Amino acid sequence: MAIQDIYPTALRLLGRPVLVVGGGRVAARRAKGLLDAGARVTVVAPEATAALRELADAGLLTWEPRTYRSDDVDGVWFVQTATGDPAVDTAVASDAEAQRVWCVNASDHESSAAWTPAVAVVDDVKIAVNAGGDPRRAMALRDAVATALESGDLPLRRRRISKDSAHRGSVALVGGGPGDTGLITVRGRRLLGQADVVVADRLGPRELLNELAPDVRVIEVGKTPGHHPVPQADINRILVEEALQGHRVVRLKGGDPYVLGRGGEEAEFCRQHGVEVEVVSGVTSAISVPAAAGIPVTHRGLAKGFSVVTGHEELSEVPARADHTVVLLMGVGQLRESASALGRAGLPRDTPVGIVENGYLPDQRVTIGTLGTIADQAEAAGVANPAVIVIGDVVRVSPFAPSHFKTADYSTTSPNKPRTSTTRVLTP
């Protein structure tokens, strides 16, 4: 049998009798697959594996502990041979052929009337691969296609709405990370590929929007500091209205939806209006953007904890110590006030401060100074949001830090040497 002789199709075996001849591991796998399809399975074999016996004891299939007889194929819709004995498998296939019953002959794929493909299920898509009678090749291809579907590299979006799924819209709050397209989660990328409507922030992996199908609607609701053209109440309403029209809605956000992203409010509003909502965590910029500049928010010998704040008025509530990292989000406009507040709270003026603009993007820039100098440095350099500000001794670890910031006692390893980079670094 050549691959050109195959007519690919799918069998609906729900409630229909099928026969498996053989009791080994292959038979057990095939019987399990047939049960998953809803078939009424009978296994004929003198001996059976523990897995098959468990299925029989549970009443999920019928096991006839004997050798095969020609009348076993009477009245069945499908036959699978898996005895390991070519003579027996050929006899079963011959009897099935005489009764015009489709039979998979596990001993001889060339003469088999049907082939069993390598199968995977992603969402409601079933992938079946035949590869010229080479099962390992088929499995490798199946796994590759399944991975591409799960990661969103292949289009998984529905084009035809079934009667059962009509008007069952949903909302997914997807954290897209700090902006680099490689930092969105696999789950987030997959949901984005299934979306009918994307409600997008100004931050996050914007380049992924260019990969959406032409008929996917993108609703822009991005905010900038002090400028909210689409109020949060309107965003909540958009999510619910689109979902109630039967659409799969993705709320694509920068960072993580539940880290200063108002995702909790959006999820609560959806649930209040009977809309199914899923939250997909993202890589929060509070941790990832400092990491892009080689700054860990905690580090052995330097800091065991950290606080994330969004305004200088909150700084009175965080420990004013260089060994407790403070991460300021969207704090460029209030940097001078924040530095003064931390100074009044007792943080030394020579505490290292790092600012990372546009983390992970091609125009990323790092500015490093001290609590006493950083406001003037940022003003002179024209530092602007989006930026993450890190305050504390952990800034010393950054390869962008000047050599005099390095100390010998912050790690069990030797201090890092400053890295040569085209990134602009300002120092006091």
CA–CA separation, 387 and 365 (whole Å): 9
Residue 368 confidence (pLDDT): 95
Each residue's pLDDT tens digit, 335-382: 999 999 999 989 999 999 999 999 988 899 999 999 999 999 999 999
- End-to-end Cα distance, the chain: 77
Instruction: Calculate the alpha carbon distances from 203 to 284, 374, 391 in Å.
Output: 12, 25, 23
158 pLDDT tier (thresholds 50, 70, 90) = confident
| pTM for this model (two decimals) | 0.65
What is the spatial distance between Cα 103 and Cα 126, in angstroms, rounded to a whole number?
21
419 vs 88: which has the higher pLDDT: 88
**Which residue out of 196, 201, 256, 393 is catalytically annotated?**
201
Task: Please choose, from the candidates 379, 387, 400, 375, the residue with its C-alpha nearest in 3D space to the C-alpha of residue 327.
Answer: 387
Q: How far apart are CA 91 and CA 73, in angstroms?
A: 11
Note whether 265 and 232 are within 8 A (CB). Answer: yes
Residue 412 is predicted with a pLDDT of 44
* Percent share of the chain, pLDDT over 70: 89
Identify which of 241, 273, 279 has the alpha carbon closest to the alpha carbon of residue 261: 279
Report pLDDT digits (tens) over 45-75.
Answer: 999 999 999 999 999 999 999 999 999 999 9
User: 231 burial class (0-12, 13-18, 19+ CB within 10 angstroms)?
Assistant: exposed
Q: Which residues pair with 248 in a beta bridge?
A: 170
What does the alpha-carbon distance between residue 190 and residue 303 come to, in Å, rounded to a whole number? Answer: 36
Active site residue 223: yes
- Confidence class for position 312, pLDDT limits 50, 70, 90: low
User: Is 72 marked active-site?
Assistant: no
Catalytic: which of 223, 323, 376, 406? Answer: 223
